Structure 1
Amino acid sequence: MTQNHWKWILPCAWCLLVMASPASAQKPGVATQPTEDRIQQLIRAAAERVGANVDRALPQSVATSQADAQPSVALSMDDAVRLALERNLDIAVQRLTPQTYDFSLAGIYATYKPTVSSLLSSQGATNPATTSIAGGLAGAGVDVTVDAFNAGIGQNIPKGGGSYAVFINNNRQTTTNTTFLYNPVYNANWSAQYTQPLMRGFKTDSSRQQLLVTKISQDLSEVQLQSTIVNTLSNVRNAYWDYVFAIQSVDVAQRSVDLAEQLVKDNQTRVEVGTMAPIDVVQAQSQAATQRQALVLAQASVRTAELALKRLVVNGTQDPNWNAKLDPTERLDFQAIEVDIAGAVRRALANRTDLAQAKKTLEANDVTLKFLRNQQLPQFDLVGRYGLVGLGGTQLLTTGSGINQNVIGSVPGTYFNSLGSLLRANYPAWSVSLNFSYPLGTNTAEAAVARARIQVNQTDAQIRQIELQVATDVTTAAVTVQSNTQSVQTAQVARELAQRQLEAEQSKFEVGMSTNYFVVQAQRDLATAENNELRAVLAYRKSLVELDRAQQTTLSNLGVTVISTGGLNTTAVGSGRPTVVAGGTGG
C-alpha cells in the first residue's frame, strides 16, 4: 500500500462514516458506536474506489508465518566479521592477487639458475690434397671423420651481475693424412670463464630491477588486500548496525501502533458511555491506520537491511546463511567516548593503506631510477679465462721427417690418455681482458632517466598530498563523532520530554482537560522522537566506524591480523578474534 493510496482511502473512509451515522451525531444520548468490523469494511470500500487493496498493506501475519519458516541464525558483530573474512567474495578475489606474484618472481629467479648445455655430433669430409703437406697423394682425397661430445654449465650471479661458464669439449678424429702423429686422435679441452661488469650492470641490471619491482608490487598487493579487508569490514559493521536499526525501528513502529490502537479502544469505550461522539473515534482510527502503514514500511526495511548484510557475509546463494533469518544479538546503544584528534592523526599516518601504497610506489620508482642511471654508465667488463688441453690416441711410429716420413708401427691409445693429459695440466692456457664500450652522442637512457626522475618527484609530492588528506579525513571523522555525541544526547532528552508530554496529555484527556487531537499529536511526537533517537545512535555508531576506517585501526580493534606466510599456502593465526592471511613471498 503506497502513501498516495492512503491519502485517498482515509478521507473516503471518513466521508462514508459520516454519511453512515448522521443520526447518531445529532442524538448523543442514543449514539451507537460503529464496530471495528464496520470500520474495516468502510476502509475497504474506500480502497476499492481508488483501486487499492488494503489486504496487501497489512501483510504482518503472512510475513510472520514466512519468517517463522526460515531457520534463524544468531549473529553477533564478531560473528559477522568472521563470516566476512571467511566468505566475502571481494576479499576472496583480492586475497589471490599476492599469490600471482609468486609465479612472476619464480620466472625472474629462473634467470639465476644454472643452465646446462650439451652437444653430440659426428661429421666427415673428404678434402682434396692440393699441396705436398696435405698428407695425401696428388689427385687423391684426404678423409677426415670427427666425433664430438661437448658439455657445459653457465649461471648468472645475482650479486655483482657477473656470470660464469664452464665447458668440456671432447672429440675423436680419424684421417688418412699421413702427416698426423696420432690416428685416431683424442682431444679433451676444459675451459672456465668469468665475466664481471665493473660499471654498467654492477650494482643493478634489468633482472635485479625487475626482481625488486616485482617484490614491491607483491607488497603493494598485500597492502591493497589489507585496504579491501578494512573497507569490507567497515561496510559489514555499518550494514550490521543498519540491520539492528531497522529491527529496532519495527519495535518503535509497533509501540506506536499499540498506543494508537489503545487510544481507539479507549475512545470506543467513551462513545459507549456517551462521553464522546462517534466521529471523534475516526481520528484515532486514522492515526492507527497510519501507524500500521509505518509498521509495514519498517518491516520492509528490515528485509532490505538483512539482504544488504547477507551480501557481505555469504559466498553465494548456496550459502546456508543466504536463506536463513539473521538474528542480531547486539542492540544500538550509546556510550560516549573521548576522541584524541592528534593521536588519531598520528595513528592514521602510521597505518593508512593509501599512504603505504604511495610509499611503495615511490620505492618502486626509485628502484627504476637507479637502474636507468646505471644504464648510462659505460660497458666496462673484466673477463678472465683459464683452460686445459689434453691429447691422446694411437701414436704412429715413423721414420724420416716431414713429407718423407714413413709409418713403421703404432702404439695403441684411448680417450683416457687425453683425459690424463688434461688432468696433469700439461697444456694450460689463460687470458685476462678488459672490454669497454660506450655509445657516442645522445642515447635513450638520458631521456628515460629524466622521465623516471619526474615520476619520483611526482610520487613524493603525492605522498605529502595524501598526508594532508589523511589529517583532514581523520579530523573530519573525529569532529563528526563529537557532533553525533551531542546529537544523541539531545535526542535522548527530546524523547524523554515527548514521553512525558504524551503521559501528560493522556492524563489530561482522561479528566476531560485535553482533546483527542492533542493525544494523537503527542503520540506522533513520541514516535518521531524515538525514531530520531535511534537515527542519532545509528549515526554515532557509523561515525565511530568511519573514524576507525580513517585511522585504519579497524583490523586492530577487531583483532584481525593480515600476515604474509610466503609461498602459496596461507594459515590463519591470532587470538580470540578472526584473522586473515595474505599469501605470497612478501619480499
Structure 2
Amino acid sequence: MAGNRFFPLVLLAVFAIPGSAGAQQQAVETTSGTQVRGQRLAPERQLTLSLREATEMALKHNINLEISRLSLASASQGVLAASGVFDPFVRVDFSESSSESPATNQLVGAQVNKQDRRTFNLNLGTLLPTGGQATVGWTNTRSKTNSTFFFLNPSYNSGLTFSVSQPLLRSFGTDVNRARIEIARKNRHLSLLDFERLVITTLQQVESAYWNLVYARENLKVKQQSLKLAQDLLEQTRIRVRVGTSAPIDIVQSEATVAAREQDIIIAENAVQAAADNLKILLGFEDPQDFLAEIVPTDSLQAVPEPVDFQKAVQTALERRPELKAKQVQSEIVEQNLLLARSALLPQLDWGVNYGFVGVGGTFTQRDSRTGQIVAVIPGNWDDALKQIRDRDYAQWSTTLTFSYSLGNNQAKAQLAQRRFELAAAQQALAAQRQSVIAEVRAAVRNLEASAKAIAAAVKARELAERNLEAELKKFENGMSTNYQVLKIQEDLAAAQVAELQARVAYRQSMVAYQVAVGTLLDTMGIQLADTVPEPEVHTYWKDVPFLQLSHWTSEER
C-alpha cells in the first residue's frame, strides 16, 4: 500500500523486571498488518509464562490491538485525503460540430450556410493556500465555412490565458483553507491516543488476568491442603473410634467434611481453567489446541509495598494521562470548526484578474469586390496563430470584483453560535476529565494504601490461624477437643490463607490501577510510543505568514 509510508509508527517496548539487569527489548510496530497470526502459541501441553513474557505476547498477538492499528491507518489516510484539495488539476476538452442552415439574408454569403467547428482546450490549475485559484488556459478553435464573406477559411484561433481569483473575505486565509487538514491531523492524533489507551488497557487486563490465574492456582493449592488436613483428621478419627475414644458419629462428620472439600477442589480447578482461558484470550490465542494447554505462571504474588505521594501523583497524571490529551485535542478540533464558521459568516467578496494573448491564423482568400471571384489565396495554418501568441502581438486582460451576501444570513449565524456552544462544552468536558483524573488518582492511592495494610493484616491473621490449628490438634490428640472444633479451625485457616492470597492479588491489581491512573504504566513497564517516521507536513507554505491568516484580521467575540 503506497500510502503506508506516511504513517508508520513504532511502539518501542522494553520490558524490564524490577531489579533485573540487561532487560530485553522488543519493537512492536503500530502499522496495520504487523500482528503475528496463525502461529501455535502453546505447542506443548504446558506453557510456563512470566508476566513480562505475557505482556510481550499480548502486544504481538492481541486482536484488539490490530483493530486499533487499522483505525490509526485509516486516520492517517484521512490527512492525505484532506490535503487533496490542494492537488493541482488538469482539464482537457475536445469538441467537434457541423451544421447546415438555409440562408435568411444576402449577408450569409451562401444559399445554404455550412459550418464545421473543432475545439481543443487545456486548463491547468491549483488551489492557492490563501483560498484563491490560479489557472493557465490554452484554447484552440478551427472553423470552416462555405460563406464567401470569410476571408480566413479555414480559420485557426488560439489563446493563452493566465487567471487568478482570490476571495477577500469569506474563504480567505491560509488558516481557513488548512482547517480541514488540521482537523484530519488532530483526528489522527486522537487515533494514536486511542491506540495508547488500548495498549494501556490491554497491559492492565493482562496483568490483572495473570495475577487472577496465580491466585486461582494458589487457591487450588489451599483447597488441596485443606482436603489433606480433612483426610488426615478422618484417618485419626477412625483410629480413635476403633480404640473407643471417639463416637462413630465423628467418622460421619469427618467424611462429610472430606466430601465438601473435594467439591471445593472441583470448583477451584474450574476457576483455574476459567482464569487461564481469560488470559489466553488477552494473549491472542486462536488455535483450539492452544486453549487446551496449561499455563503455569512463574511470577510470585509476593510484593513489597511502596509509599506513594498523592500530590506528586496528581501532577504526573495531569501531564501524562492520554484521556486529558484527547479532550484537549477534541477542543482544538472544535476551534478549527469555529474558524470555518467565522469565515462562513463573512460576505463573499472575490477579486479576479485575467491576462493573456490571442492569435489568429488560416488560409487567406481574397475576392474581387465587384464580382466575388477569388483573386488570391495565401495558405495559412495553426502555426500563424501560435506565432502571434509567442510574439505577444495581441494582449488582453480583465479584472473583476464580485460581491454577494445572504440577507439575514441566519444559517451562518446559527452555525457560528453552535460552534461556540460546542467549544464551551469541549472546555467543560476537559475540566470534567481533569476532575475525574484527580478523583481516580485519589481512589487509586487510597486503594493502594488500603491493600498494603490488608496484606499485613491478612498475614497476621493467617499466622494466628496456623498457630490456633496447631494448638487445637494437640488438644484433639489429648482428647481435649472434638472433631467439630478441629474442622472449624481448619476452615478458619483455609479462609485466612485465601484472604491473604486475595489481599496480595488486590495489592498487585491496585498497583497497576495506580500506574494507569497516574499515567506511568508504560514507563514502569519500559514501553515507549515513538513516531519513528513522522507524518509529513502537507501544504505548509505560507501557513505561518500572519497577514495571510483570517485570524490575524478578525478576533473571536467572547
Q: Normalising by the residue count of structure 1, what TM-score does the alignment of the two structures yield?
A: 0.78
SS of equivalent to 1:304: helix
Find the aligned partners of 1:241 and 1:541 in 2 and give their Cα distance.
7
Q: Report the residue type matching 2:430 in the other structure.
A: I
Aligned to 2:341: 372
Find the aligned partners of 1:395 and 1:272 in 2 and give their Cα distance.
140
- Aligned-pair CA distance for 1:544: 1.2
2:99 alignment partner, one of 125, 128, 138: 125
SS of equivalent to 2:505: helix
Stretches of structure 2 that go unaligned for 5 or more consecutive residues are 1-42, 536-558
Aligned to 2:48: 74
SS of equivalent to 1:225: helix
Deviations along 1:53-74, whole A, 9 cap, x unmatched? xxxxxxxxxxxxxxxx981111
Aligned to 1:193: 163
1:113·1:155 contact (CA, 8 Å) conserved in 2?
Answer: yes
- Aligned-pair CA distance for 1:363: 1.1
Query: In the alignment, is residue 495 of structure 1 matched against residue 458 of structure 2?
Result: no
Aligned to 1:146: 117
Find the aligned partners of 2:330 and 2:460 in 1 and give their Cα distance.
51
Aligned to 1:110: 84
Find the aligned partners of 1:406 and 1:147 in 2 and give their Cα distance.
28
SS of equivalent to 1:332: coil
Please identify, of 404-413 and 488-497, the stretch whose mean Cα deviation from structure 2 is larger: 404-413
- Aligned-pair CA distance for 1:128: 5.1
1:82-97 to 2 correspondence within 5 Å? 82-97=56-71
2:359 alignment partner, one of 390, 395, 399: 390
Summarize the Cα distance change of 1:520–1:431 in structure 2 as closer, same or farther, 3 Å threshold.
same
Aligned to 1:51: none
- Aligned-pair CA distance for 1:309: 1.7
1:341-380 to 2 correspondence within 5 Å? 341-380=310-349
Query: In the alignment, is residue 543 of structure 1 matched against residue 510 of structure 2?
Result: yes
Find the aligned partners of 1:340 and 1:129 in 2 and give their Cα distance.
101
Find the aligned partners of 1:323 and 1:537 in 2 and give their Cα distance.
28
- Aligned-pair CA distance for 1:142: 3.8
Aligned to 2:379: 412
1:99·1:567 contact (CA, 8 Å) conserved in 2?
Answer: no
Find the aligned partners of 1:320 and 1:340 in 2 and give their Cα distance.
47
Aligned to 1:340: 309
Find the aligned partners of 1:204 and 1:419 in 2 and give their Cα distance.
38
Find the aligned partners of 2:137 and 2:371 in 1 and give their Cα distance.
39
2:103·2:112 contact (CA, 8 Å) conserved in 1?
Answer: yes
Find the aligned partners of 1:404 and 1:163 in 2 and give their Cα distance.
54
SS of equivalent to 2:527: coil
Find the aligned partners of 1:149 and 1:468 in 2 and give their Cα distance.
66
Find the aligned partners of 2:288 and 2:237 in 1 and give their Cα distance.
51
Deviations along 1:304-331, whole A, 9 cap, x unmatched? 2122222222253x26532211111112
Stretches of structure 1 that go unaligned for 5 or more consecutive residues are 1-68, 569-587
- Aligned-pair CA distance for 1:470: 0.8
Aligned to 2:131: 161
Deviations along 1:551-577, whole A, 9 cap, x unmatched? 232222223334456799xxxxxxxxx
Aligned to 1:173: 143
SS of equivalent to 2:303: coil
Deviations along 1:241-296, whole A, 9 cap, x unmatched? 11110100111111122222222333444445555454444444443333333222
Deviations along 1:365-417, whole A, 9 cap, x unmatched? 111111110111121222111111112222234565xx777531122222112
SS of equivalent to 1:561: strand
Please identify, of 475-484 and 123-132, the stretch whose mean Cα deviation from structure 2 is larger: 123-132
1:256·1:291 contact (CA, 8 Å) conserved in 2?
Answer: yes
Higher helix share: 1
Please identify, of 536-545 and 261-270, the stretch whose mean Cα deviation from structure 2 is larger: 261-270
SS of equivalent to 1:392: strand
Query: In the alignment, is residue 554 of structure 1 matched against residue 525 of structure 2?
Result: no
Find the aligned partners of 1:275 and 1:202 in 2 and give their Cα distance.
104
Q: Report the residue type matching 1:113 in the other structure.
A: D
Find the aligned partners of 2:525 and 2:151 in 1 and give their Cα distance.
87
SS of equivalent to 1:120: strand
- Aligned-pair CA distance for 1:81: 1.6
- Aligned-pair CA distance for 1:155: 1.9
Please identify, of 475-484 and 206-215, the stretch whose mean Cα deviation from structure 2 is larger: 206-215
Q: Report the residue type matching 1:342 in the other structure.
A: Q
Percent identity (aligned): 32
Query: In the alignment, is residue 519 of structure 1 matched against residue 505 of structure 2?
Result: no
Deviations along 1:186-218, whole A, 9 cap, x unmatched? 211111101111211112698643333232222
1:477 alignment partner, one of 431, 434, 444: 444
Q: Report the residue type matching 2:190 in the other structure.
A: L
SS of equivalent to 1:370: helix
* Residues paired across the two proteins, number: 493
Aligned to 2:390: 423
Aligned to 2:552: none
- Aligned-pair CA distance for 1:130: 5.1
Query: In the alignment, is residue 459 of structure 1 matched against residue 426 of structure 2?
Result: yes
CA RMSD of aligned residues (A): 2.6
2:300 alignment partner, one of 331, 339, 342: 331
2:130·2:177 contact (CA, 8 Å) conserved in 1?
Answer: no
Q: Normalising by the residue count of structure 2, what TM-score does the alignment of the two structures yield?
A: 0.82
